[in-house]
Amino acid sequence: MAAHIYAASPGGPRGTGGLGAAERAEPENGIWCCYTHGKAIDSDDGRFYSVTQLKAWKRLHEARKAADVNGEALHHIGLVESISVNSAPVSSLEGRKFDLGMRNMITGPNASGKSVLTRLIASVAYPDHVAEMSRHRDVDMAVRWFDPQTHEVTTRGRGGEVIHVLDGFPVPYVARPYKTILLERVRTGAIGNIVGIAQVFDLSVSAMKATLSALAGQSRLIRNVRYGGTQVYWTLEVNDRVFESTDCARLPGGLQAVILVELAGFHARHHARVEPTFLLLDEFMDFYHPEAQIGTLERLHEAAEHAQVGIVTHSPSIVKAASPDWSVTVLEHRSYNRLDAPVDFEIATATGPHAGRIGAE
C-alpha cells in the first residue's frame, strides 16, 4: 500500500511540512510498503516514524530496485538510522536522539557540538574518537543502523578506555559496522602525493590509483590524472577554465578541497554497494565562494547516490541551498558554567578575502 510521508491533510501524522495539498499528493511524498507497515507508519500520530527515516527508506529502496533493473546486486545496502547521546563533551548533545537520513546537514555556532556529533557518528568504526573525548569527559552513546539486519551498539568511554555492547553482547570492537569517510580541512599539498591521498581515504596505493583512474573517466571536474613517482598531477576544468597542476601545493585551497570532495563522493558511492557508507564533511566547504558552495552541494548530492552524507556547516548559503532531501539539524551553544568545562573540538579555519575561492589566483 502507499503511505504518505507528510500528512495527506492538515493535522495528520508528521504534519504537512509546509507543503501544499498538490505537493503532498505527488509521488515524491509517498512510500510503498506492506499493509502492516503502512498502518504502523501512521499509528500514534506518526511519532515512531519520522519524515527523515521515511525519506531515507524510500531512497534506499529505490536504489535497490534500480540496481536490480541494471543487473547489480546490493545485498548489504543499509542506513545509519539514529544516534542517541547520553553524555558527551558538549552539553547541547546530551540527552538527545538524532534521527539520520540519507542527506544530513548539521549547523550551529562554534562550540555547539557540530564536530563532536560528527565524530561520535564515525566512532563506531573508529573508536579512537571516543577514547580521545573520554579523557576529558565521560561519553555514553548508542547508534542504531541496519545492513539490512537491524543492529544497535552502545558505547561507553571513560578515561581513554572504550567499551562496546553490540546487540546486547559485550565486544572488544565492532567489526565492520558501516564505512565512514570523514573529511576535515584540507592539508596543503596532500592531493599532490598518492600516498597521502590513500591515507586520507584509508586505501592502499594501488586501490587509490584505480579509483582515480575511474574517477577521471566519469567526473565533470577532473579531466585527467598523471603520476610522476608518488606525485600526482591533475587536469581540472572549473567554470570553463582548465587548470594544469604542476605543483599541487600551489593550487588554491578551494580547488584542493573540491578535488577531495569529488573524490570522496565517488569513493562513497562505490563503497555503498558493498556495505552501509556514511560520508562526513566537517566544515569542508564553508570557505568556498557561495556560488561554489551551492555547486559543490549539488554535485555531492548526485555523486554520493545511496551513500549517506552528513555536512557540518555554519554557512548560511549552504543551509539555504539545501533541497528538501536534506534533513537540517540546528545545534545551540550551551555553557556548562562549571570548572570542568568541555573541550572544544570545533575546527578553527583561517579566513580571508580569497580563502577557498574556486579559481582564485
What is the DSSP code string of 99-127?
E--SEEEEE-STTSSHHHHHHHHHTTT-T
Task: Please check whether residues 239 and 277 belong to one and the same domain.
Answer: yes
Last residue of a domain, one of 177, 212, 234: 177
Task: Please check whether residues 58 and 101 belong to one and the same domain.
Answer: no
Q: Quickly state the pLDDT bin for 352 (edges 50, 70, 90).
A: very low
Task: Please check whether residues 134 and 239 belong to one and the same domain.
Answer: no
Instruction: Please indicate whether residue 1 or residue 200 has the higher confidence score (pLDDT).
Output: 200
**Is residue 337 included in any domain, yes or no?**
no
pLDDT score of 61: 65
pLDDT score of 350: 34
Residue 347 pLDDT exceeds 50? no
Segment 12-31 mean pLDDT: 80
pLDDT tens digit sequence for 285-338: 887 778 878 888 888 888 888 889 999 998 888 898 888 888 899 998 765 433
**Is residue 95 included in any domain, yes or no?**
yes
pLDDT score of 242: 85
Strand partners, 312: 106, 282
Question: Whole-model pTM?
Answer: 0.75
pLDDT score of 146: 82
Residue 235 pLDDT exceeds 80? yes
Mapping DSSP to helix (H, G, I), strand (E, B) and coil, where does residue 142 land? Answer: strand
Segment 56-61 mean pLDDT: 66
pLDDT score of 255: 77
Residue 154 pLDDT exceeds 90? yes
pLDDT tens digit sequence for 75-86: 556 788 899 999
Last residue of a domain, one of 36, 69, 102: 69
Give me the phi and psi of 235, to 5 degrees please.
-115, 120
What's the CA gap between 31 and 3, in Å, rounded?
5
Task: Please check whether residues 173 and 187 belong to one and the same domain.
Answer: no
Residue 152 pLDDT exceeds 90? yes
Percent of the chain at pLDDT > 70 equals 82
**Is residue 349 included in any domain, yes or no?**
no
pLDDT score of 12: 81
**Is residue 152 included in any domain, yes or no?**
yes
Task: Please check whether residues 166 and 255 belong to one and the same domain.
Answer: no
**Is residue 25 included in any domain, yes or no?**
yes
Q: Quickly state the pLDDT bin for 341 (edges 50, 70, 90).
A: very low
Residue pair 286/317 in contact (Cβ under 8 Å)? The answer is no
pLDDT score of 256: 78
Owning domain of residue 324: 182-329
Residue 356 pLDDT exceeds 50? no
Q: What's the structural domain count of the chain?
A: 3
Instruction: Please indicate whether residue 61 or residue 170 has the higher confidence score (pLDDT).
Output: 170
Q: Quickly state the pLDDT bin for 348 (edges 50, 70, 90).
A: very low
Segment 80-101 mean pLDDT: 92
Last residue of a domain, one of 69, 90, 121: 69
Tell me the CATH number at 305: 3.40.50
Task: Please check whether residues 286 and 213 belong to one and the same domain.
Answer: yes
